[in-house]
Amino acid sequence: MAGSRVSRRSELRSLTSSPAWQGFAADADKSWLSYHQTRTAKIQQWATSELDSVRAVSPTIFYPFSGPDLLNVVTMFPTSETYVLVGLEPVGTVPHLSTLANPKLYSALKASLWSVLNFSFFRTNDMAIDLKSVELDGALPLMMLFAARTNNQITAIRYVQLDNQGRLTESDTAAIRKPGPKIIPGVEMKLTDKTGQAKTVYYFSADLSDWKLGVTKQAALQYVRSLGPLTTYVKSATYLMHKSYFSKVRNLILERSAYVLQDDSGIAIKYFRPSDWKFIYYGTYKRPINLFAKLYQPALTQAFADTTHRPRPLPFGTGYNWRQNDSNLLLARRQSAPVE
């Protein structure tokens, strides 16, 4: 699926001999080479400089509203040990060999990845339609692909779920495919990076609105609370935490995070208590794209116009205003220890 070569002993080896796969792989290599040159290299260079001290104290990254976007979070925080991703997309399952042999797979993957490789964010609805057409049933297949393309070796995958106390328990394929209304299904993926460091990635399929959290007894938030102090990363989050009915997840992040790295679609600046947080602004803040025009923040315009504490450069595009000179990031550092 990643268009990467496999070992001679791999049971997938026979699939790579077809002209269709070889054409797909050559095209994927070109797309990923361009992506890594224009985005990955710039993000890595920037983050090595700007997030060095953050990375040193960020064993666990919480990435709400992520969908399957393992790609950006491991690029931004490559030395972290645990990544907790939450999205609305179904968990999905490891693809069957019959799915991998489907010639329609390659065009569906190319279409699904087009927006993230070109604009840095997923067009979620388009992606779901493309992938369902070839029986890729959720986030896991794409997360596996991203693991491969970020030089991580997958060593184990198991299905998990959260009980109503927020405890992690074992699950199975049947429960993942048809979870009950009070169950939060998930997957645990174990990785080893190119330096040999072990990592654990969790993805949970959960609605983080206040009402839905009430139905599940806030199990997702209880689980996140059990992880200790967090670094939270938010990108392309459709401005949900600007709204009153996403107050619970917003408050959790503000209480439990030592650092928050986000674009303007994350938590509105008005919710950060100035006495509790120190801010560094990067890039340029302009009005949100037309779809989210009502969520413009005058306070951010004022902050980015501060001539005493000028915003620092952001040498890559990110979020909905994806062009390099239109993008912004905010790094918020908590002044005191997170609330226990």
Q: What is the pLDDT of residue 12?
A: 92
Between 46 and 118, name the one with better pLDDT: 46
pLDDT in tens, 10-33: 999 999 999 989 999 999 998 899
What is the arithmetic mean of pLDDT over 36-60? 95
* Nearest by Cα to 257 from 278, 294, 232, 233: 232
pLDDT tens digits for 294-308?
Answer: 999 999 999 999 988
The band of 220, judged by pLDDT with boundaries at 50, 70 and 90, is very high
| pTM, two decimal places | 0.94
pLDDT tens digits for 98-155? Answer: 889 888 888 888 877 877 776 655 655 555 555 666 667 888 999 999 999 999 999 9
Q: What distance in Å separates the CA atoms of residue 172 and residue 188, rounded to the nearest whole number?
A: 12
The stretch 159-185 carries a mean pLDDT of 91
In whole angstroms, give the CA distance from residue 5 to residue 16: 8
Helix (H, G, I), strand (E, B) or coil at 286: coil
Query: How far is it, in rounded angstroms, from Cα 338 to Cα 257?
Result: 6
pLDDT confidence tier of residue 70, bands split at 50, 70 and 90: very high
Alpha-carbon span 11 to 208, nearest angstrom: 39
